[in-house]
Structure 1
Amino acid sequence: MAKITNYIGQFHPIVWVLLIGTVLSRGASFMTLPFLSIYLSRHMDLSPIVIGLTVGMSPLMGTVGGFIGGHLSDRFGRKPVMLISLFMVALVYYGFTVATGQGWFILLNALNGLCNSFFEPTSQALMADLTDKEKRMKVYSLRYTAMNIGASVGPLVGAYLASTSAKLSFAITGTTYLFYAIVLVFLMKKLVLPQAGISKRVVSFGDAFTIIRTDKALRYLILGIILVNMGYVQIDSNLPQILEGTVENGIVIFSTLITINAVLVVFLQMPISHVAERFRLMQVMVIGAVFMAGGLVSFSFVNGWVTAILAIVLLTVGEILIFPSNSMMIDQLAPEHLRGTYFGAAQFRKIGNFLGPIIGGYLLSQFQGQIMFWILAVTTMGSVVFFTAGNRFFMNTKQPNLEKTM
């Protein structure tokens, strides 16, 4: 009991609130977003390219919104940015329940990406504000684990609702985000937050863009993640369409793969992170890119349960290595007073989430799923060039005492 108390006590209560909220909100969103492309293909009779554009609107808006939200949180504090964005996300999902035309889905998914891009970097920055430096990698790993605990349950419920009442899943998700926002309002009033989240030095948008433009390590990191995301996003956009059309019980297999992916992250995140700590962050991300490319190639040969599970295992190991290391790398790059701005700038990686569904949809419509996966696997491997370059600039410009933590 004492060990549990000590473990819980090492992090601020708001950090735990954000972690629990991540489980609930991600579980709810995974009931809907992975099946959005299926819903549109069934009810709207749209081409794969148009569906890809609709799905991709969320990350497109996230590329700009994340930078703005992170910057505003540095200037005005984490609390107002986080709470306003959460309430807006709830309204967006309620909007999905009454949307009838393609234009409404594009608009609502764009707002969804914008609001989430305000909340995500701000919440990460707040977690860092409230956590000692030596414990931040653990917090980022816990956050990623929390995301996947929610993702392990959401797709199974979503698969059922997709075939019965898809609009009900939108309503449930909206209610979950609304509840999360209300609880956070209450607890933020009760608990004292340190003022570290508000910059004592006011930085204009022009100054912030100049900082991002001149930080070569950050720029190469973002470019590498863009390429990774172009491949990874196929799991949510084009893979369900491919499985539904080419494999028996394709939707059941897809929803099970999403759950397997999340469960593997929950159980493997800590052991793999423990091993990965012996290497530099960029080395870990390069290895992750290799595993992820291997998973994409494996998806091109999927003809049933065995090959599908093998592909998702490879892809999962890749994401475990890449994404938490990406958050830690941004934390190390960011000056204390610009942490929100840096985490916001990192949202430009969502350009890959926007381009991926569109490019994948084009390749799928012109060729076939196998060609699509091969091309995007090569694209994912292209990230290695940028990760390597980013590591070189990081080592040349940052303090030597960070070298061991890489």
Structure 2
Amino acid sequence: MRKTFKSYHPIVWTLLAGTVFARGASFAAMPFLALYLSRTTDVSPILIGLTIGIGPLTGTIGGFIGGHLSDRYGRKVVMLTTIFVWAAVFFGFAFSEHVLAFMLLNAVNGLSRSFFEPTSQALMADVTEKEKRLKVFSMRYMAINIGASVGPLLGAYLGMISANLTFVITGIAYMIYGIVLLILMNKYKITNVNEGKAVASFKEAFRVIGRDVSLRYFIVGGILVNIGYSQIESSLPQHLNSSLEDGVVLYSVLLSANAITVVLLQIPLSRLAERWKTLHAMMIGSLLFTAGFIGFGLSGGWTGFILSMTIVTIGEIFLFPSGSVFIDKIAPDEMRGTYFGAAQFRSIGHSAGPMFGGWILSQYSGQLLFFIIGGVIAASMWFYYAGNARYEKQIQQNTLSA
């Protein structure tokens, strides 16, 4: 244990612990925002939906901006500013009364997430040796799932006491996280990795991103995967509810199985993935995703759905951390934050997926939906392969020209 702890920078452990802490608090509050608005305001369901949806929208746009700012002004400045603004957002949720205030706050919430998360990933890569980064990103993904599994239970409990209290506690959690980061970043002298270097302007960075074909292929592949993954929260519960008598109970079991599988298998499977090339881990992850969603279409009872969810979960264990490693691999050192930020455009799939899946579900059937989604996810493998091939070709050209 001591050897493992010393193998990584203290800031890495702080960010991992903070991810569990802050994500748990966030998952305690945000899933209940729609319910909170419906109970405490008289606004229409359409306005509530718009309020909830504006966060992911601003997050999709903000990732690139936040990542570039972290390259230009330093991870420390962006992360600390963002975390304290984020804390203020949750305090605002607790004391706001007008729907426009909630819309503005959730827009800032989406921006805060999109600024903080790519920057924190870039910082983890900055302070970690290249051969250890897959393990770090795997541990980060496990930390997210631990927070996601504990948070909603905590939120349900606190919601019975006071809905406002949930937001206040979340704000306090983020405030504590920010203070701890401030202390440790000063102690370990986290400075701008690009200090003294010529850093591209925002316009120049946007041009570089636009010209990077490997990144574009990766983003398209990620959008396709996220179109599929979003069905777990949108179409899957509707399909289970309409096709099985105890579908709601089964859906709860599937969510728990997903979280438990990640926590139990993340570390051993990440060790296995370390022996493979990044592309191979991503391809296997997409293939398992495809098989799992086809399994959803073929399943008619509890056993089939649980087995399919387990396959999907193993796929995400391989795919999502490996995706972070791929971004780190193709990014120039001085633009690492910008690349991690640009990768947030993958979340377009999370926005488009529920509408796409909902239309198929309403017009045809859940079985056909999951077969189609399996095909959509399978297409991501071509984009990952093409992106990696383009990157390796560029490396060869650079070597020959040197």
TM-score class, shorter: 0.7 to 0.9
Aligned counterpart, 1:337: 334
Residues 179-258 of structure 1 correspond to what in structure 2 (within 5 A)?
179-196=176-193, 198=195, 200-240=197-237, 243=240, 252-258=249-255
Q: 1:352 to 1:388 in 2, by over 3 A?
A: same
Distance 2:364 2:101 in 1: 30
Shift of 1:367: 4.7
| Aligned residue type for 2:25 | A
Q: 1:97 to 1:300 in 2, by over 3 A?
A: farther
Identity within the alignment, %: 52
Shift of 1:342: 1.0
Distance 2:89 2:367 in 1: 35
Residues 133-173 of structure 1: CA deviation (Å, up to 9, x unaligned): 22222211121121122223223334556777655443433
| Aligned residue type for 1:46 | P
Aligned counterpart, 1:119: 116
| Aligned residue type for 1:272 | L
Aligned counterpart, 2:271: 274
Shift of 1:62: 1.9
Match of 2:144 among 147, 160, 170: 147
RMSD: 3.2
Distance 2:334 2:94 in 1: 40
Aligned counterpart, 1:313: 310
Q: Is the 8 A contact 1:25 1:150 kept in 2?
A: yes
Say which is worse superposed, 51-60 or 79-88, in terms of deviation: 51-60
Aligned counterpart, 2:350: 353
Distance 2:224 2:38 in 1: 26
SS at the partner of 1:391?
helix
| Aligned residue type for 1:297 | I
Say which is worse superposed, 363-372 or 214-223, in terms of deviation: 363-372
Alignment pair present for 1:284 and 2:272: no
Query: TM-score normalized by structure 2?
Result: 0.86
Shift of 1:366: 4.6
Say which is worse superposed, 97-106 or 206-215, in terms of deviation: 97-106
Say which is worse superposed, 148-157 or 20-29, in terms of deviation: 148-157
Distance 2:374 2:219 in 1: 18
Aligned counterpart, 2:294: 297
Say which is worse superposed, 318-327 or 130-139, in terms of deviation: 130-139
Alignment pair present for 1:74 and 2:93: no
Distance 2:30 2:149 in 1: 14
| Aligned residue type for 1:57 | I
SS at the partner of 1:202?
coil
Q: Is the 8 A contact 1:155 1:258 kept in 2?
A: no
Say which is worse superposed, 287-296 or 243-252, in terms of deviation: 243-252
Q: 1:31 to 1:241 in 2, by over 3 A?
A: farther
Distance 1:377 1:97 in 2: 41
Match of 2:323 among 326, 339, 342: 326
Shift of 1:357: 2.7
Match of 1:21 among 18, 21, 31: 18
Residues 247-292 of structure 1: CA deviation (Å, up to 9, x unaligned): 5565554444333222211221222222223332222212211221
Q: 1:358 to 1:263 in 2, by over 3 A?
A: same
Say which is worse superposed, 168-177 or 379-388, in terms of deviation: 168-177
Distance 1:292 1:32 in 2: 29
Distance 1:357 1:35 in 2: 19
Q: 1:307 to 1:192 in 2, by over 3 A?
A: same
Shift of 1:391: 1.8
Query: TM-score normalized by structure 1?
Result: 0.86
Say which is worse superposed, 52-61 or 120-129, in terms of deviation: 52-61
| Aligned residue type for 1:274 | R
Say which is worse superposed, 376-385 or 218-227, in terms of deviation: 376-385
Aligned counterpart, 1:46: 45
Distance 1:400 1:271 in 2: 37
Say which is worse superposed, 317-326 or 29-38, in terms of deviation: 29-38
Q: Is the 8 A contact 2:135 2:271 kept in 1?
A: no
Say which is worse superposed, 356-365 or 278-287, in terms of deviation: 356-365
SS at the partner of 1:193?
coil
Aligned counterpart, 1:380: 377
Distance 1:38 1:188 in 2: 38
Q: 1:335 to 1:61 in 2, by over 3 A?
A: same
